[in-house]
Amino acid sequence: MAWRSDNPEVGIGSQEITASEPDSLVRIALIFDGHGGATATFKLVPDGGGTRVVWGFDTDLGANPVMRYMGLMFDKWVGGDFETGLANIKRIAEAG
């Protein structure tokens, strides 16, 4: 999937599923135009009578202090979208 927006909070980018393991993992390569790439993971972990979904986000910020500072902002920038997605997964899964 790719996106392009004039809204600076959305910008330009793409994502591609790079790995999928049934009932355990989805790994996604993310490209943010002008900001490099990252990897998002969704791990499915058995939890009692259900499943816990764990979201992870990895990127290499290098030694550049500005990029490392920006890394502190990633959760603010994309975390809400992933939290909304996780809530939607929960709602759909529990609706049966």
pLDDT > 90? residue 55: no
Q: How confident is the model at residue 62 (pLDDT cuts 50, 70, 90)?
A: confident
Amino acid at the residue 2: A
As a whole number of angstroms, the distance between CA 12 and CA 2 comes to 8
- Asked whether the beta carbons of 63 and 71 are under 8 A apart, the reply is no
Q: pTM to 2 decimals?
A: 0.73
pLDDT recorded at residue 9 = 76
Q: How confident is the model at residue 93 (pLDDT cuts 50, 70, 90)?
A: confident
